[in-house]
Copies of this chain bind each other. A is one copy, B any other.
Amino acid sequence: MNPSQAAPGSQASLREANRLRVLETLREQGAMTQVEIAGSTGLSPATVSNMVKELDGAGAVELAPSIRNGRRAVLVSLATGNTLLAGIAFGDRDVRVAVATGPRDVIGRQRMPLPSNHNADEGMERAARLLYDLVEKSGKAMTDVKAVGVGIPAPVDSVSGQVGSESIMPGWRGVDVADELAGRLGAPVLVDNTANLGALGELRIGALQGVQDGVFLKLSHGIGAGLVIGGEVFRGSAGTAGEIGHLTIDEHGQICRCGNRGCLETFIGAQALGEALAVSHGRLTLRDIIARAQGGDVGCRRVLEDAGRHLGVAVAGLVNLLNPSVIVIGGQLALVGDLIVDPLRAAIERSAIPSAAASVTILSSELATEADVVGGIVAAEALHAASDALKVTIGSMS
């Protein structure tokens, strides 16, 4: 029986809600005594005691003797055993992979460049190789990897599971990445946009913790946003919410890779920044531009300041529409800090309605360029927990 199918308001659905609350609390707060679980969930000690017995019987929690406040106590924690989770973040120019036992517990990470015109097959092949390598180095087996969260720097259509644009990442068109990768890795795979995964990572262990209405801006080769509404990542009706990079800034502007004109990306994407510096500086990558700006190069600094200003006009629109309380700046451009944040803030104050501008705080990512990979691990954990909760429920119903 699916957890969501219990008759609402019935004793069965109440028990199920309580069980999920205990599992969620252990996931958030780590090992706890039964008294602490009761305090934290508001459930009675007797209810908690029964619940823990049941969960232990189903292998969903582990019990370990310990000392709390000088007295012997039994700590309850989520059963991990040999469970590994993986996060994979594809970029326009690289792929990054991390293996972990939880979002805060990464045990290995690796990065590999990708050619600019790579196709999905090459990308997935390299990602799989990195993951096999990391698992082997950690002394575990691929069968220990229970779930994988994968980010793609393009809109991901939640209905088709495919890239929601013909021209963004053309080498990935028509590929069911979740299905393909699950086959290669032998574990369930969840695919999402990298900006959404960045928001998920920051929400769980970074700068968006406890935030109800917020935004994670991913500023890298391309530009994306992960929206947080009501304390959760918001994906819209077909999974593609947050596409700020393709907001029209100038109706008569340059043609964008998405096929439209004058999108934000045509002003501040890596290619636009490189072109603005081509005559004076020659051919520079995004990494070059950031490094030189940090080294004091005035041309590179100017280009990034201007990018902050253009970004601010688009973000002001987002502030007017969503009235978020926090905006977190992530991705590679976040590495230059105030150089981009100061003009961004000034442009929001100039272009957003005053009360919305006054109620928003701009923060730097706490997870730096790893927010998306961490978000992949959070997604993998949720995917694994969902299948676990289902097993526990089936066990307790039979």
Binding site for B on A (CB under 8 A): 7-10, 14, 17-18, 21, 41-43, 47, 155, 157, 159-160, 164-166, 168, 212-213, 225, 227, 229-230, 234-244, 246-251, 258-261, 313, 316-318, 320-325, 350-356, 359-360
Residue of B nearest to A234 (CB): B229
Tell me if B18 and A353 are in contact (CB < 8 A): no
Cβ A353 vs Cβ B237 within 8 A: no
B42 touches A355 (CB 8 A): no
Contact A164 B355 (CB under 8 A): yes
- Complex Cα distance A119/B7, Å? 53
Please name the residue on chain B nearest to A18 by beta carbon. Answer: B9
A236: which of B164, B234, B236, B324 is its contact (CB, 8 Å)? B324
In Å, the complex CA distance between A241 and B229 comes to 12
Q: Please state if B354 and A165 are interface contacts (CB–CB under 8 Å).
A: yes
Chain B residues lying within 8 Å of A360, measured Cβ to Cβ, are 237
> Which of B9, B165, B322, B350 sits near A353, CB closer than 8 Å?
B165
Most buried by B among A14, A240, A321: A321
Shortest A109–chain B CB gap in Å is 31
Check A320 against B244 for contact (C-beta < 8 Å): yes
User: With A240-B353, A260-B350, A354-B164 known to touch, is A9 a contact of B41 (CB < 8 Å)?
Assistant: yes
A332→B250 CA distance, assembly (Å): 28
